[in-house]
Amino acid sequence: MNKIDLGWNDFLQQHLIRTDNENSLVGRVMLEHKRLYRVMTEKGELLSEISGKYRFEVESREEFPTVGDWVVLTERVGEGKAIINAVLPRYSKFSRKNAGTTTEEQIVAANVDTVFLVQSLNHDLNVRRLERYLISAWESGSNPVVILTKADLCNDIGNAVAEIETVAFGVPIHVVSVKERIGLEVLQHYFQRGKTVALLGSSGAGKSTLTNYLLDEEKMVIKGIREDDDKGRHTTTYRELHVLTDGGLVLDTPGMRELQLWEVESGLQSSFQDIEELAEACKFRDCTHNGEPNCAVREAIQEGKLDLSRFQSYVKLQRELAYLERKNDKRAQSVEKDKWKKVHKTVNRSKK
């Protein structure tokens, strides 16, 4: 398959790592499963694993290949297999803090041009959750687009869209229903040759149904909505990148129960630009909006120009990022310590 059809661009060309090995080539990771990777190249699909040298040199989880990455690999001719030697720099990445107590980055989607933030127009519609997705999307380097699915289940679409517009400033919003074939044509605009779109959202939001429509086949096993709480069940259990027949690529992802933020300071500013702009009008530059005189943010809340719940969400996310920053400082020190342990072990082996 042609590299351009897979998403190859000028940025990647500039960062291409060249080798003298005649069996060396580049490919894109389409699927990852237990440290095995399905990589699409111009010579076809190769089942790949990372080299021992690369595995030894990586210092953190985010340095391992992930779906959407471009990698340099060595083909094992005649076997349909390859060894991954390097990961090319990513021009965009959508990340979150890894679930659990460990402070690690989990890259959900790499080298993506557009992020579809998929929300279902049923009782699961959650503006506060969407704020988190928007923050991470702005930080990722991709263009966010809000997709409101299952329009056939909503009795007041206008009110739902108006609610989303209060947090998605300048972000395109599309209302669709795959079941009723509503609003789907406009989505084709995002799937141009070599352009990658990632579908992100919670379980049951309709990502796999939308992927099926785009692929024009029942590739995913679709599970229904639970009648007792109107929430979806997990359908996709792994990330997979698909090439569309008419051009473009779509990356379907598992539903995320929660999205813990990861280093998104600029994304926070972009998503909460209304509060950031109000804060500039406060009397004190270091105003905490917690009782200071002539606070423009508090005045806006009192006058009904700013929703109190949105401000509370802003404060909560700031605290979350401050906590993450403190944790990352400790983690960086630990990584540096482990790095030098590896160096010393290597030196000691060479002396023997």
* β-bridge partners, 38: 31, 47
Tell me how far apart the alpha carbons of residues 51 and 83 are, in angstroms, rounded to a whole number: 6
Distances (CA, A) of 14 to 11, 96, 229, 243, 342: 5, 27, 50, 24, 31
Q: Is residue 203 annotated as involved in ligand binding?
A: yes
Full-prediction pTM beyond 0.85? no
Strands (E), 34-69: 36-41, 44-50
**Architecture in CATH of 10-87:** Beta Barrel (2.40)
Q: Is residue 154 annotated as involved in ligand binding?
A: no
Tell me how far apart the alpha carbons of residues 306 and 253 are, in angstroms, rounded to a whole number: 34
Report residue 128 CA to chain centroid gap. Answer: 17
CA dihedral sign, ordered 182, 183, 189, 194: negative
Tell me how far apart the alpha carbons of residues 165 and 156 are, in angstroms, rounded to a whole number: 15
Q: Output phi, psi for 225, to 5 deg.
A: -85, 135
> What pLDDT does 223 receive?
42
CB-CB contact of 125 with 147 (8 Å): no
Tell me how far apart the alpha carbons of residues 204 and 208 are, in angstroms, rounded to a whole number: 9
> What pLDDT does 262 receive?
54
| Intrachain domains 93-252 and 272-346 with the same fold | no
Asked: is 272-346 a CATH 1.10.40.50 domain? The reply is yes
Q: Is residue 140 annotated as involved in ligand binding?
A: no
List the CATH code of the domain at 93-252: 3.40.50.300
Tell me how far apart the alpha carbons of residues 272 and 290 are, in angstroms, rounded to a whole number: 18
Q: Is residue 209 annotated as involved in ligand binding?
A: yes
> What pLDDT does 108 receive?
85
Residue type, 192: Q
Distances (CA, A) of 1 to 5, 46, 53, 79, 85: 7, 12, 29, 18, 21
β-pairing, 173-175 with 143-149? parallel
Taking only the tens of pLDDT, the chain with its 352 residues reads 899 999 999 999 999 887 777 888 999 999 998 889 999 999 999 999 999 998 888 877 788 999 999 999 999 988 999 999 999 999 998 876 665 555 567 788 899 999 999 999 986 788 888 888 888 888 888 999 999 999 998 889 999 999 999 888 889 999 999 999 999 999 999 999 999 999 998 878 888 899 999 998 645 444 444 444 444 444 445 789 999 988 999 998 876 655 655 565 666 777 788 888 888 899 888 888 888 899 999 999 999 988 898 888 888 877 777 766 666 655 445 544 555 454 445 444 544 5
All structural domains of the chain with their residue ranges: 10-87, 93-252, 272-346
Q: In 10 A of CB 75, how many CB atoms?
A: 22
Q: Is residue 202 annotated as involved in ligand binding?
A: yes
Q: Is residue 271 annotated as involved in ligand binding?
A: no
Q: Is residue 41 annotated as involved in ligand binding?
A: no
